[in-house]
């Protein structure tokens, strides 16, 4: 019953997020990416979640987001990317976490995961301690994994792996939220790539290392 209620809550949350972003985009300047151009997975995701409210699921609020099946896992990953992409074009501003207006790198991550009822701390360094560490290898990474940058002592930047060698992050150099290839991050930032963290996993492998 608890899992059933969490799935309903997740569906409502995504509906509110998508509705809010539609309104926010209508009020933005024309230079911002229009809401209509977002991935079609946004609508598919909401429809799929709504259709599954009649069956139990397993979205758990733990150090990782666990899913009962690979289908549930795919929905979670799609939702992370959909919410993150809804903020592309938002300005970069240190300390900001205002949907549709401005974010810094960790503010974006906190907003995206918070929309899925997964609470993360405020700074990139603190966020880098969540999830399970996985190989820094694009053949091993999955959409929704978090990429951390900095030094061995301090993480100063964080982004979301979007698949196909791309990352979504609040860029300090571009001064906005962007989706770009890892190669486009530049050698100075790539040299600071410290880890990849997996927050989304199947329930039966949540305690395993990959």
Contact between 16 and 79 (Cβ < 8 Å): no
Q: Where are the alpha helices (DSSP H) in the chain?
A: 2-27, 41-51, 70-85, 105-114, 124-127, 187-190
104 lies in a domain?
yes
Catalytic residue, chosen from 2, 20, 105, 125, is: 105
**Cα–Cα dist 9/144, whole Å:** 20
Give the total number of structural domains in the chain. Answer: 1
Catalytic residue, chosen from 2, 20, 125, 169, is: 169
Contact between 120 and 114 (Cβ < 8 Å): yes
pLDDT of 33-80, one tens digit each?
444 444 454 455 555 444 443 333 333 334 788 898 999 999 999 999
Catalytic residue, chosen from 2, 20, 125, 157, is: 157
Q: What is the pLDDT of residue 144?
A: 97
Q: What is the pLDDT of residue 193?
A: 98
137 lies in a domain?
yes
210 lies in a domain?
no
The values of phi and psi at residue 189, to 5°, are -80, -40
Q: For the chain, report the end-to-end CA distance as a whole number of angstroms.
A: 31
Q: What is the pLDDT of residue 92?
A: 98
The values of phi and psi at residue 114, to 5°, are -65, -30
Q: Is residue 157 annotated as part of the catalytic site, yes or no?
A: yes
Q: Is residue 2 annotated as part of the catalytic site, yes or no?
A: no
**Cα–Cα dist 133/185, whole Å:** 21
36 lies in a domain?
yes
Domain of 200, CATH number, reads 3.90.1720.10
Q: What is the pLDDT of residue 10?
A: 61
Residues in the chain: 210
Q: What is the pLDDT of residue 64?
A: 87
Q: Is residue 20 annotated as part of the catalytic site, yes or no?
A: no
Q: What is the pLDDT of residue 63?
A: 75
Which residue segment(s) compose the domain that 45 sits in? Answer: 2-205
Q: Along the chain (210 residues), what's the average pLDDT of each consecutive run of 10 residues?
A: 51 56 51 46 49 37 80 95 98 97 98 95 97 95 98 97 98 97 94 97 68
120 lies in a domain?
yes
State the Cα angle at 61 between 108 and 75, rounded to 5°: 70
**Cα–Cα dist 13/31, whole Å:** 28
């Amino acid at each position: 019953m608890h899992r059933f209620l969490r799935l309903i809550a997740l569906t409502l949350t995504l509906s509110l997020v998508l509705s809010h972003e539609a309104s926010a985009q209508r009020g933005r300047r024309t230079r911002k990416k229009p809401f209509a151009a977002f991935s079609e997975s946004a609508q598919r995701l909401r429809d799929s979640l709504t259709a599954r409210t009649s069956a139990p699921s397993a979205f758990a609020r733990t150090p990782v987001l666990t899913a009962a099946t690979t289908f549930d896992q795919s929905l979670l990953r799609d939702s992370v990317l959909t919410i993150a992409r809804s903020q592309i074009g938002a300005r970069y501003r240190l300390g900001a976490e205002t949907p549709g207006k401005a974010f810094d790198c960790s503010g974006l991550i906190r907003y995206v995961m918070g929309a899925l009822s997964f609470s993360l701390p405020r700074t990139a360094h603190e966020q880098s301690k969540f999830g399970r560490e996985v190989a820094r290898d694009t053949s091993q990474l999955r959409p929704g994994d978090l990429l951390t940058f900095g030094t061995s002592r301090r993480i100063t930047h964080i982004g979301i792996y979007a698949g196909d060698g791309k990352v979504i992050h609040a860029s300090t150099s571009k001064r906005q939220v962007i989706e770009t290839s890892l190669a486009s991050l530049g050698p100075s930032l790539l040299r600071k790539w410290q880890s990849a963290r997996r927050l989304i996993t199947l329930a039966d492998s949540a305690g395993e290392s990959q």
